[in-house]
């Protein structure tokens, strides 16, 4: 009998999708204050994800380790410095200062825009550097911590509805844009001379906004991770559980 009950529950979940946990706020698309409600709902959901919600396919967003194939390469060792950045982690995504969310319906798709503002975000990465810096030869692998100060992350998801017993959304396109007001670098062991290492970090951080131009394209690299996570969630939770109306 217990096995039969479990099978029935499994079939109900498979056919109808999961219900949202009580901590997730449900908004009514027919109301004029829908986007305000949606902003609060997304803010609350992000805060909850200090811990993963595995049943819904949602990992913890507090400390995110990106896939090993996320790699940024810059420069050339023959004419300067070749830099290879790997093993990315971002810490603090569940600590937004504020979130503004908006759902714009269209004839074929819906566009969900989430603008998340943070006091800071910390990124950990491993840097492999080979070449020269002001005539100093370098051939090192070092941890690097860089801090985005007052960053705004804008996620855009293009959502298409489809029917699988009940209506679901799926992400068919997405983008991530990152804006910052400051950027600080902490190369842990770039130079063996500790004083030189400290001074280099200070000088490089002073020109952080100029250096950010080199990293401006990272949104296109990290965006697919959030695309995949959100799509996995939408596959499990039908539209009727996300919104009224």
User: Can you give the CATH number for the domain in which 167 is found?
Assistant: 3.15.10.30
* Site of tokens 């500790």: 194
For residue 135, being part of any structural domain is answered with no
What average pLDDT is seen over the chain? Answer: 87
List pLDDT tens digits, range 126-145: 999 998 876 678 789 999 99
pTM for the predicted model, two decimal places:
0.85
The pLDDT, as a whole number, for residue 14 is: 41
Could you tell me what percent of the chain has a pLDDT over 90? Answer: 63
The domain total for the chain is 1
Domain presence at residue 163? yes
Q: Is 234 part of a structural domain of the chain?
A: yes
Tell me the β-bridge partners of 156. 113, 175
Q: Quick check: 169 pLDDT over 60?
A: yes
Q: Would you say residue 104 lies in a domain?
A: yes
Strands (E), the chain: 27-28, 63-65, 72-74, 81-91, 98-105, 110-117, 120-133, 136-149, 152-164, 166-179, 182-187, 243-244
Residue 1 falls within a domain, yes or no?
no
Specify if 72 maps to a domain.
no
Q: Which domain holds residue 169?
A: 22-64+94-121+148-244
């Amino acid at each position: 009998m217990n096995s039969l009950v479990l099978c029935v529950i499994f079939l109900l979940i498979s056919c109808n999708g999961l219900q949202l946990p009580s901590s997730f706020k449900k908004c009514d698309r027919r109301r004029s204050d829908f986007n305000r409600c949606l902003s609060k709902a997304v803010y609350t959901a992000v805060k909850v994800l200090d811990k993963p919600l595995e049943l819904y396919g949602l990992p913890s967003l507090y400390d995110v380790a990106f896939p090993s194939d996320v790699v940024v390469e810059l420069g050339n060792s023959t004419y300067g410095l070749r830099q290879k950045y790997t093993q990315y982690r971002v810490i603090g995504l569940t600590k937004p200062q504020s979130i503004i969310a908006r759902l714009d319906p269209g004839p074929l798709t819906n566009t969900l825009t989430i603008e998340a503002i943070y006091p800071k975000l910390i990124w950990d990465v491993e840097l492999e550097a080979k070449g020269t810096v002001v005539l100093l030869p370098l051939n090192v692998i070092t941890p690097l911590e860089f801090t985005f100060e007052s960053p705004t992350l804008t996620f855009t998801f293009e959502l298409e509805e489809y029917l699988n017993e009940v209506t679901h959304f799926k992400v068919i396109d997405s983008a991530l844009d990152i804006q910052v007001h400051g950027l600080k670098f902490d190369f842990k062991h770039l130079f063996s001379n500790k004083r030189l290492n400290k001074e280099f970090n200070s000088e490089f951080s002073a020109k952080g906004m100029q250096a950010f131009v080199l990293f401006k394209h990272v949104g296109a690299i990290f965006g697919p991770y959030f695309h995949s996570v959100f799509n996995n969630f939408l596959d499990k939770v039908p539209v009727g559980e996300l919104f009224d109306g």
